[in-house]
Amino acid sequence: MSDVRIGIVGCAGRMGLALIREVINTPNCILVGGSERPDSAAVGRDLGDIAGLELLGYTVTGNSESLFIDADVVLDFTTSTTTVAHAEMAAASRTALVIGTTGLEARHIAALETAAQNTPIMQAANMSLGVNLLVQLTRQVAHILDPDFDIEIIEMHHRYKVDAPSGTALALGRAAAEGRGVELDKVAVRGRDGMPGERQRGDIGFAVLRGGNVVGDHSVMFAADNERIELSHRATDRTIFARGATRAALWTHGKPPSLYSMADVLGFES
Ligand code: NAD
């Protein structure tokens, strides 16, 4: 396999730093640069320096566009608006893009689909192998159990997370709804407060917790009278997402233009 040149946008963020460390330690990956917001204090500093490593000889740029020229694949864990701008840059330069940003709305996904007509784009709300397995299991269990089993999805993340429920919790909800052959939007109950009334048969509920430095906990509860099944995943370090993203970068390189998922990367049937 030939080497793949990788750029990281948002390289000084929590995930960006984990990605720097992962990419430089992955065979066949060559880190060729990182970008940040033009007003970020990281601009002008060495990529290795910001990640607590030895100097790597590449400085953080405030101009993401240049990364799309230098790299074969760009990794993007930033914000929804920024991600759409990066997808347009990827389409213009025909550079592959791996997106981990969450909080993407239908209009953002539509913009990614348009960009993916010109270049391969892989997008996943969660890049960990374990969570992607959890999504598959959730779909299967929801398919097997009838709606006498109430489905509740519980997630907890660190105090800095800005979107809720997490992209992963929503992906789990979609998988459960697909398993039951219903649309999530028609059955989702996103947060209860005051007097929401009795739970309706077939509802899929979401509960969100925020606190501390929790990297990401997700549980799917199937609760019937007298028994409960619970599927859970706990992430204790961001390296699992960085590892998945780097694997996705190697997989996406050279693929035809399209919008791909982590199920494609891992070879799961969706
Ligand atoms: P963060 O705030 O620590 O990092 C985001 C970085 O993007 C910041 O450094 C910010 O300055 C930078 N950025 C913003 N606008 C930019 C621009 N225009 N150009 C270049 N850089 C820009 O956040 P984080 O915890 O690293 O998470 C980032 C995103 O990744 C969130 O949406 C989070 O939910 C998601 N995430 C996804 C996964 C996954 O597996 N898919 C895992 C963890 C986090």
Q: What is the pLDDT of residues 54-112, one digit of tens each?
A: 999 999 999 999 999 999 999 999 999 999 999 999 999 999 999 999 989 999 999 99
Determine the CATH number of domain 129-235: 3.30.360.10
pLDDT score of 1 more than 90: no
- Per-residue pLDDT averaged across 29-57, rounded? 97
Sequence letter at residue 229: I
Nearest protein CA to atom 34 of ligand 1, as residue? 102
Domain-by-domain residue ranges, the chain?
Answer: 4-123+238-266, 129-235
Backbone angles phi, psi at 191, to 5 degrees: 95, 135
Q: Model confidence over 195-206: pLDDT tens digits?
A: 999 999 999 999
Among 11, 17, 77, the mutation site with the greatest number of ligand 1 atoms within 8 A of its Cβ is 77
Is-catalytic flag, 157? yes
Q: Is 108 a catalytic site residue? A: no
Strands 120-123 and 258-260: parallel
Does an H or E element contain 179, and which? helix 167-180
Fold match flag (4-123+238-266 vs 129-235) = no
Instruction: Give the pLDDT band (50/70/90) at residue 268.
Output: confident
User: Could you identify the residue written with the tokens 């793949």?
Assistant: 4
pTM for the complete prediction? 0.89
Query: Does 270 have pLDDT greater than 90?
Result: no
Fold of 4-123+238-266: Rossmann fold (3.40.50)
129-144 and 167-180 helices cross at what angle (nearest 10)? 30
Q: Which residues fall within 8 angstroms of residue 165, CB to CB, at 6 or more apart? A: 153, 155, 173, 190, 206, 208
Q: Which residues line ligand 1 (CB under 6 A)?
A: 9-10, 12-16, 35-37, 40, 64, 77-79, 82, 100-103, 124-127, 241
